[in-house]
């Protein structure tokens, strides 16, 4: 097969900021992409939600631009956004080539000078925004509490993946401005960040601009590495009553950490089992037997350790018990005999396509600048792209079979039934009631 590569140049400023540059002169745009190696895993039980709150606060203004970040960049023709997960926070802009100075200046100002503009009123306003987002996306959304329950069941309370990235509502309400300021000083600085610049710009000019705008910033303390482990020793069955119309079952297992051995195989197994109309469970559960309205699976690759999640929503008058039994049958078949050659070809082709899609744009979520930062932050090597591709190309029917047999054990998983309120009897047998908040 032809090699898939993502060319780049890398330098590290004296303050510890990694700068990655990718030249692509096909379109007159430049992507500016900043990753901070901080996510909800850098919080502690009882004091959660800080990383996600900063996703909001850092768009509100900094010392030398003490107002919203969206208007001036959008007026210059930019697209911009940010996101937070368990392991990292990112911010990005895609701007016309002529506006690259503006994007870099604004990113540097909020990295180095956010706190002088972080007033108590601004903090409290964005805290309320986050609480409202939590209500909309989790508390008041059908099945929205499912992953809160699953995370809490998969990980003990002292594990940094026990809570959702958005944080617990009581923790968010209890935050104080001084706590938020301390969290920023610990994690949002050059020595805990990676800057990628991609697109219509010469590498030397990009490095010069990075030095110009970021070089004067104080490095900040390098945060201690977070370590934690978790395991399941039995099958746990839970039931959550919620405002839903149809019952749904979730199944989750611990699985290999991001980029570790078996991670790619479990990613392929998710596709084979439940992604797309030709997948085993869609064909059987949804199309042939009509037991389920939908079915999905994914390998949630994370830095400290991943989980594999499978979910199916029951069709009218159908039983979660029957659905779970059929899922178990397909998992066991995959663990015993492995995928067919045609299934492996399809899964490999889909994986290859996903890598190609990432090369289609220089910016945004999953674009080339974002990918360079991901590899740099998580592996220390922005040139990890060919190695990442090779993980999927090297997977075989036997490695996928062995991974499924090892990780999708029926006696080491969490099963969650979400059922309409007052209908706990629709849950899988032996399920213990659980609440979410």
Model pLDDT for residues 175-205, shown as the tens digit of each residue:
999 999 999 999 999 999 999 999 999 999 9
Angle at 148 between CA 145 and CA 154, to 5 degrees: 140
pLDDT, average across residues 213-235: 95
pLDDT at 1: 52
> Is 90 exceeded by the pLDDT of residue 92?
yes
pLDDT digits (tens, 9 = 90+) for 11-61: 999 999 999 999 999 999 999 999 999 999 999 999 999 999 999 999 999
Partners of 91 in beta bridges: 34, 82
Q: Which residues of 52-64 are buried (b: 16+ CB within 10 A; e: fewer)?
A: bbbbbbbbbbbee
Question: How many angstroms separate the CA atoms of 298 and 310, rounded?
Answer: 7
According to the CATH classification, is domain 236-433 in 3.40.50.300? no
What is this structure's pTM? 0.95
Provide the residue ranges of all domains of the chain, joining segments of one domain with +: 9-214, 236-433
| Percent of the chain scoring above 90 in pLDDT | 96
Categorize the per-residue pLDDT at 4 as very low, low, confident or very high, splitting at 50, 70 and 90: confident
pLDDT range class, residue 117, cuts 50, 70, 90:
very high
| pLDDT in the model for residue 358 | 87
- The model's confidence at residue 108, banded by pLDDT at 50, 70 and 90, is very high
9-214 and 236-433 have identical folds? yes
**Cβ burial 212-247 (10 Å sphere, 16+ → b, else e):** ebbeebeebeeeeeeeeebebeeebbbbbbbebebb
Say what the pLDDT of residue 23 is: 97
pLDDT of the residue at 196 = 98
Residue where the block lists tokens 């805990």:
192
Question: What pLDDT is attached to residue 436?
Answer: 82
Element (H, E) at 336: helix 320-337
Classify 184 as helix, strand or coil: helix
Residue 411 has pLDDT above 60, yes or no: yes
**Using CA atoms, how far apart are residues 282 and 244, in angstroms rounded to an integer?**
22
Instruction: Please tell me the distance from the alpha carbon of residue 408 to that of residue 332, in angstroms, as a whole number.
Output: 9
Report the CATH superfamily, name and number, of domain 9-214.
Metalloenzyme, LuxS/M16 peptidase-like (3.30.830.10)
Torsion angle, alpha carbons of 265, 312, 431, 253, to 10 = 10
Ordered alpha helix ranges (H), 10-168: 50-57, 70-75, 100-112, 120-134, 146-154
User: What local confidence, expressed as pLDDT, does residue 54 receive?
Assistant: 94
Side-chain-facing half-sphere of 323: CA atoms under 13 Å? 32
Q: Is the pLDDT of residue 428 over 90?
A: yes
> How many CA atoms, within 13 angstroms, populate the side-chain half-sphere of residue 190?
22
Q: To which residue do tokens 């309400």 refer?
A: 173
Q: Give the position of tokens 């960040």.
A: 193
pLDDT in tens, 383-400: 999 999 999 999 999 999
pLDDT tier for residue 435 given thresholds of 50, 70 and 90: confident
Helix (H) or strand (E) holding 181: helix 177-187
Beta bridge partners of 9: 21
Better-predicted residue by pLDDT, 436 or 365:
365
Flag whether pLDDT at 137 surpasses 80.
Answer: yes
Quick one: pLDDT at residue 2? Answer: 61
Find the Cα–Cα–Cα–Cα dihedral 239, 267, 377, 49, rounded to 10°.
-10
pLDDT per residue over 304-348, tens digit each? Answer: 999 999 999 999 999 999 999 999 999 999 999 999 999 999 998
pLDDT at residue 229 above 90? yes
On the question of pLDDT at 7 being above 70, the answer is yes
């Amino acid at each position: 097969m032809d090699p898939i590569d993502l060319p780049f140049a890398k330098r590290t400023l004296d303050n510890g900021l990694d700068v990655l540059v990718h030249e692509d002169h096909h379109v007159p745009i430049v992507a500016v992409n900043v990753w901070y190696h901080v996510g909800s895993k850098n919080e502690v039980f009882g004091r959660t939600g800080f990383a996600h709150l900063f996703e909001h606060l850092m768009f509100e203004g900094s010392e030398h631009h003490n107002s919203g970040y969206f208007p001036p960049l959008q007026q210059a023709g930019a697209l911009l956004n940010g996101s937070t997960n368990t392991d990292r926070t990112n911010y990005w802009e895609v701007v016309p080539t002529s506006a690259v100075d503006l994007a870099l200046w604004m990113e540097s100002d909020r990295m180095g000078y956010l706190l002088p503009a972080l007033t108590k009123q601004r903090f409290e306003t964005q805290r309320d925004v986050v609480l409202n987002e939590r209500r909309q996306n989790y508390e008041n959304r059908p099945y929205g509490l499912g992953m809160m329950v699953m995370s809490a069941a998969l990980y003990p309370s002292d594990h940094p993946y026990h809570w959702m990235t958005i944080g617990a509502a009581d923790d968010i309400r209890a935050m104080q401005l001084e706590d938020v300021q301390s969290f920023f000083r610990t994690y949002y600085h050059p020595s805990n960040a990676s800057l990628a610049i991609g697109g219509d710009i010469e590498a030397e000019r990009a490095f010069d601009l990075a030095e110009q705008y970021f070089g004067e910033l104080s490095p900040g303390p390098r945060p201690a590495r977070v370590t934690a482990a978790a395991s399941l020793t039995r099958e746990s069955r839970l039931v959550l009553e919620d405002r839903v119309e149809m019952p749904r079952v979730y199944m989750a297992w611990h699985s290999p950490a991001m980029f570790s051995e078996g991670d790619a195989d479990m990613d392929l197994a998710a596709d084979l089992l439940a992604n797309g109309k030709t997948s085993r469970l869609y064909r059987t559960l949804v199309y042939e037997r009509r037991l389920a309205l939908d079915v999905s699976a994914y390998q949630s690759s994370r830095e400290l350790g991943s989980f594999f999640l499978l979910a199916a929503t029951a069709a009218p008058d159908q039983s979660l018990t029957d659905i779970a039994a059929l899922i178990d049958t397909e998992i066991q078949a995959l663990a015993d005999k492995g995928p067919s050659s045609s299934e492996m070809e399809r899964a490999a082709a889909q994986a290859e396509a996903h890598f190609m899609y990432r090369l289609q744009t220089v910016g945004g979520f999953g674009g080339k600048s974002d990918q360079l930062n991901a590899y740099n932050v998580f592996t220390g090597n922005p040139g990890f792209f060919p190695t990442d591709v090779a993980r999927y190309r090297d997977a075989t029917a036997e490695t996928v079979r062995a991974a499924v047999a090892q990780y999708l054990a029926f006696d080491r998983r969490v099963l969650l039934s979400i059922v309409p309120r007052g209908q706990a009897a629709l849950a899988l047998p032996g399920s213990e009631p659980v609440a979410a908040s």
